[in-house]
Structure 1
Amino acid sequence: MTPPRPLSRLLNRVILLWLVLPGLFAIFILGVFGLHRMIDNFASDSKVFASSIVRYVEVYLDDAFSHLEAVETQYAALSKGSDKLPLSMLSFDPHFHKIMLVNDQGRILASSPSGDEGEHFGLDFDAGGADRLILSRPVPSQETGSLVLYIGRRIEGGLLLAGELDLEAFQRHLSALLVPGKGSLIITDAFGNLITHPDMRRVMTQDNIGGDALFRKADQGGQLILVRDQHSHSLLVASAWPTSLTGWRIFLIKPLADVAKPAFMFLGALLAAVLLFFCALALFLRLSLNRHIVLPLASFAEAMRSLARGEQETSTPHQASSQELLRVFYSFRAMALRVRKRERELTASRERFRQLVENMEEIFSIMELPSGKLTYVSPAVKQILGPNFAKLGMRPWDCLDMVHHEDAQRLRNSLERSGWMGVQIEEEFRVIQPPHGEARWMRLRAYPVRDASGKVGSLVGFLQDITDKRRMDEALRHMVRATAAPVGEEFFAAMAQHLAEALETSHALIGTYTDTPPTRAMPLAFWGRGRPLRKEEYSLQDTPCGLVAQKGVALVQSGLSEAFPRARTLQNENLESFLGVTLHDSHGKPIGHIAVMDEKPLLDEARARSVLTIFSARVASEIERRAALSSMEASLAEKEILLKEVHHRVKNNLQVVSSLMSLQASSKGNPELTTLLTESRNRVQAMALVHEEIYKSTDLARIDLSRYLRHLLNILLANMSNGRAVTLRLDIQDISLPVNLAVPCGLIINELFTNALKHAFANHDRGEVRIDMSRNEDGLVTLTLRDDGVGFPPDLDFRATETLGMQLVVSLVRQLDGSIDLLPGPGTAFAIRFQAGQAVAEQPLGHMNN
């Protein structure tokens, strides 16, 4: 990259571009315009001068022809047919060298001055009219050798009057007409033969310019011609004008430099003045800009560098700085302070991020997209995967050969999908680690990072080694499968089997101590080589299980059989390694041990210890639970026996009371008292039957109401029928009620059934009593007792009677938190409703009248 140029050079360039160059360009345009004006002026002047020259040439030649005509007239008047020319004829025009009279054979008959008579004329005229002839090409005179032009006129008798025109005199006359500085004059005939030229040597040598560019352009009709001189190679400006009398071409030529010289002199002076002005202006601007801009900016830049170096106190801009620069400086200084603060914060944050990334157990990586190259990999990769797995610049799928073949394509697809679609991915896969080819489980979480335009520019990935977690999960799954279905002794067998499978060992043992302190143990489960082994009580002495009982944990990574030669099982199974831990109850008391054994050395001790700890907690809790359950069952059996004994004693005591009442009622004396004692005895029997049903039942908390009522009603029917043929019809569902509901319910039925036997069938030998009892889905029990007797007195309110029986019924219904209704006849019918699912507190009956 090209370094930036200094501001002074930039200012010089700006001044050059925006001041000097436009001025030079204006001068150039002015020069072109002046040159064009000079050429136009030359053309105008040439036109005027050429017109004069053309007119002079035509007049000059016309005068020469007029002189020949005068000679012709004089010759005709004086000679009278003589072939002699008078000498005096030359006085008519001194420009003639000689006048000759030539016959039609071309011989000179007479000449003036004389001396050429009899000579052959030998010239052919090439221009002119019928009477006026001209040989436009100059030829040397035979007498003087100077260049002459021949003109002629035909006269009577076929004679030709010819004259040698003095070309030098003609040229002198033309030279006299030329104005100095107007250019040079060239005259040619119609064929390009030079008649007059600034270089007379070319005329003397009879040079021809018919092939030159000047003549060709004039022949093409051009009047103002720009050509290059073939000899000097300079540019020439020429104007060409033809003559009408002779067909001559008149050229007025001037070097282009002479034509443009006035304009160039003016432009040179103007250019010098402009350059001088621009130099002074540039110097002034340079000094002014240097003072007010360059030096303040340089000081400003140095102050900025000081700010960048942290020298906020010493950085001060130039004293000549403008208010704008000072405001920019102070704003920049405030911004620099904020930036420096942000940089310190960013540096601290970056350092914290570096420490976090370098010390995290997961592998942190950044992958650039779309190239797929890794631009950052945290140092944890060396500890987890090794130094050759992921290097900067390599792509993750270059390492897929280390991924398990069953997971490689799925991982590649997920990485590509995350890069293309910008979605978060989470994948678990296996990596094969050299040199032993161990498969370790990895979890990759990749998050897309988008740039300002929303396009995914990179992927941030976190790679975690979850091998231990997977193994622990697998161990937990084994434990869950072991504890899901098996019960009893099968639970411990399943736990031993799944423990061996989880740790990939050949043997697993679960044992419980049979004495305290532990010296012997009884195996709850012993698994070996894919099958359960025989369980028999064993001594802990000289066994690895004895070390477990002493130390809490015992580990033998190899050489197990050699370390315990007296342990017969170890020798028979050819076991090489051992790991066992003690089982403790909730109070910390050792209750047994759990151990794994294998035929090969134990490599992953930490994992085995963790899995064994998990299994030991579950096994210990199960052993303790089963011990507590056994203790609870024993205690419950004792309490059940005690409770049955209580109910039996209560039933016997009530039977004693009932028997005493029967004895008292059988004594003769007071019939009313006998009736009251009989009714009371029936009530006591109803309560005694409840206790009898309880201690006979397997469920001490509930009573089968159907069996209880049938027993109770049959007893009442036998004692109270008084010889009548009373039919009892029962429709009772299988309902079980707790004791606190069964006793009131039995007393209610006892009172209503007793009333029916006493009052419903008076003066009747037979009758029928029907009892229905049911319970709906909501637990509501409906009890209906109906007889076909005389019916309940209509003027009597059963809730307000003075009889003890009905008062007892109403009170017991209230105790059940139920309701009782008298149904319409025939006969008497009561409907009682109460909830069987609610526990009803026992209420005292002391509020009832005797």
Structure 2
Amino acid sequence: MVSTSYSHQILDNIPNSVFVINVHANGLFSIKDVNKAQLAFINKERDEIVGKYTHEIFPAEVANHLKNVYQRCVNEGKRISYEEKINLPDKGERYYLTTLTPLNDDDGSIASLVGTSIDITEQKLTEQSLRKSEEQYRGFVQNSTEGIYLFEFEKPIDTSLPPLEQVSMFFKHGYLAACNEAMAEMYGYNDSSEIVGKRLEFFFGSEKSEHSIEYFKNIIDSNYNIKDALSIELDKDGNTKYFFNNISGIVENGALTRVWATQKDVTTEKAAERKLQESLAEKNTLLSEIHHRVKNNLAVVSGMMQLQAYEADNDSLKEKLYDSVVRIKTMATVHELLYQSQSFSKLEFSDTLTRLVENISETLQTTTNVEVDIDCELIHLNINQAIPASLIVNEVLTNTYKHAFPDKEEGNISFTLSERDKLIRIEITDNGIGFPTDKNLEQGTLGVHLIDVLSQQIEASYEYENNKEGNGTSFSMSFKRTDSSEIADHQLS
């Protein structure tokens, strides 16, 4: 027979709490024996509790709880297990899994209960944390306005296969494993259960469609992680739907096993974009037609004037006709550059100036070799300012070509375009003969009148004078650059 001392040694070396309870006929329970772990748990000495009833040791609430679970074990006559949450003074709230096993006497009645308690606090806290995390995740997924889904594959996809083979395997083995309600609604369904389990063909139609192949190849080429991938799919009624997808594929041991993704329905935006493109195409067609008609009409008018100038016997008339030809070509140049630019509200002004010089040189044939130095900053002007400013430059340059170098073999014109704090400054100087001292610009020719009128249109100030050194003239003009793109009336009055 095993001695009591030896029994205590065995019990005391068990790390978990072990206790033996005597079952009394009067329905009471007393402590028969406990090990050190149990004594430490209840913070008692062995002689304080052994042989005493539970209600003599523990507070009434605890004693009643112990009596109920002990009686339950006796009534059921078999091993029972239950979890307990106990608030310990030195350890705080702890969780225990307790098991009670009934021991029968010689007559078959239950004489005692053997109990063990295991501390499962860490396990319970982990379970609670996981449950909370899962609840938060489910709440996030279900309340999200974006579609959230999981695609899985009945057979993992070998990522070493050629892209087209992988696409084929996607359609063969892929299915929707889970999704939120928002995704189901995007396809016209009321509940996610209506689409969970569906194959890829259900959403994309044929795997052979050009877009499907391109879409899945892009996913493969992006190492199964891609943002804003545009998919074209079908809803419940067969209507085309457009989605932006953020995809994250899970690759394990060289095989794609599943794909997590979010999607946003952009069908409405795509429809608006398509209408905008159609409208833009119509406007481009209209603008192209207008451009060709204006260009042709200006060319006809210019040609007629050149023909009249060629046939004119009056030198004064011929000169005026050629001046008008240059003005028409200036307007045509601005119009052409505006049509060629990416914006119909503004154009790059230095290009305009270069073309103006070329047109004037070609039209006003002179025996003097005129060298033009152009120093222009990259400045954009809206059409309301570009046309008047170009016509002003045209008048100044035309006048310079015609009058600045009558007896010279060579001449120089310097042109500067700059901007400071939205203030545009144009400077044109030459090394010609200058103005006659008796010439009054305020009572000048049509060209001077045009400069006055045009400068008023763009609220510009200008000076036109002889250089102080006595060689040539200097023209300077300043005006505030505006961003207005409204169509303006450039009538000369």
TM-score (norm 1): 0.33
Partner of 1:659: 303
The 3-state SS of whatever aligns with 2:483 is coil
Q: Distance in 2 between matches of 1:795 and 1:840?
A: 42
The higher radius of gyration belongs to 1
Matched, 1:803 2:445: yes
Quick one: which of 340, 343, 359 aligns to 1:715?
359
Among the aligned pairs, what percent are the same residue? 27
Matched, 1:397 2:88: no
Q: Distance in 2 between matches of 1:557 and 1:770?
A: 75
Matched, 1:724 2:362: no
Give the direction of change, closer, same or farther, for the CA distance of 1:760–1:529 in structure 2 (3 Å limit): same
Partner of 2:127: 432
Give the direction of change, closer, same or farther, for the CA distance of 1:404–1:745 in structure 2 (3 Å limit): farther
Q: Distance in 1 between matches of 2:121 and 2:287?
A: 70
Matched, 1:506 2:152: yes
Partner of 2:475: 830
Q: Is residue 727–residue 768 contact of structure 1 (8 Å, CA) maintained in 2?
A: yes
Q: Distance in 1 between matches of 2:299 and 2:196?
A: 77
The 3-state SS of whatever aligns with 2:370 is strand
Quick one: which of 424, 429, 432 aligns to 1:781?
424
1:228-283 Cα shifts (integer Å, max 9, x gaps):
xxxxxxxxxxxxxxxxxxxxxxxxxxxxxxxxxxxxxxxxxxxxxxxxxxxxxxxx
1:635-677 Cα shifts (integer Å, max 9, x gaps):
3234223313321221111111111111222223332222222
Matched, 1:816 2:444: no
Q: Distance in 2 between matches of 1:837 and 1:535?
A: 58
Partner of 2:280: 636
Q: Distance in 1 between matches of 2:375 and 2:355?
A: 14
Partner of 2:167: 534
Q: Distance in 1 between matches of 2:195 and 2:239?
A: 24
Give the direction of change, closer, same or farther, for the CA distance of 1:404–1:751 in structure 2 (3 Å limit): farther
Unaligned ranges ≥5, structure 2 = 1-81, 97-118, 208-232, 246-259
The 3-state SS of whatever aligns with 1:619 is strand
Q: Is residue 716–residue 754 contact of structure 1 (8 Å, CA) maintained in 2?
A: yes
Q: Is residue 780–residue 833 contact of structure 1 (8 Å, CA) maintained in 2?
A: yes
Q: For 1:65-80, what aligned pairs fall within 5 Å after superposition?
A: none
Letter paired with 2:429: R
Structure scoring higher RCO (CA < 8 A, sep ≥ 6) equals 2
Partner of 1:619: 264
1:567-596 Cα shifts (integer Å, max 9, x gaps):
999xxxxxxxxxxxx9889xx99644999x
Q: Distance in 1 between matches of 2:338 and 2:195?
A: 62
The 3-state SS of whatever aligns with 1:771 is strand
Letter paired with 1:619: K
State the shift of 1:802 in Å: 3.9
The 3-state SS of whatever aligns with 1:838 is coil
1:131-154 Cα shifts (integer Å, max 9, x gaps):
xxxxxxxxxxxxxxxxxxxxxxxx
Q: Distance in 2 between matches of 1:440 and 1:530?
A: 34
Q: Is residue 647–residue 694 contact of structure 1 (8 Å, CA) maintained in 2?
A: no
Q: Distance in 2 between matches of 1:790 and 1:829?
A: 11
Q: Distance in 1 between matches of 2:269 and 2:332?
A: 40
Q: Distance in 2 between matches of 1:469 and 1:711?
A: 67
State the shift of 1:556 in Å: 6.1
Structure having the higher strand fraction is 2
The 3-state SS of whatever aligns with 2:424 is strand
Q: For 1:356-435, what aligned pairs fall within 5 Å after superposition?
A: 397-399=93-95, 431-432=126-127
The 3-state SS of whatever aligns with 2:453 is helix
State the shift of 1:731 in Å: 1.7
The 3-state SS of whatever aligns with 2:93 is helix
Partner of 2:69: none
1:678-720 Cα shifts (integer Å, max 9, x gaps):
1111111111112222334454443333333222212212322
Q: For 1:463-478, what aligned pairs fall within 5 Å after superposition?
A: 467-473=134-140
Letter paired with 2:472: G
Q: Distance in 1 between matches of 2:306 and 2:426?
A: 30
The 3-state SS of whatever aligns with 2:408 is coil
1:463-487 Cα shifts (integer Å, max 9, x gaps):
xxx74334454799997xxxxxxxx
The 3-state SS of whatever aligns with 2:434 is coil
Q: Is residue 434–residue 466 contact of structure 2 (8 Å, CA) maintained in 1?
A: no
Letter paired with 2:127: I
Give the direction of change, closer, same or farther, for the CA distance of 1:774–1:393 in structure 2 (3 Å limit): same
1:755-792 Cα shifts (integer Å, max 9, x gaps):
1122222343432211111234x333221110111223
Quick one: which of 742, 755, 760 aligns to 2:404?
760
TM-score (norm 2): 0.53
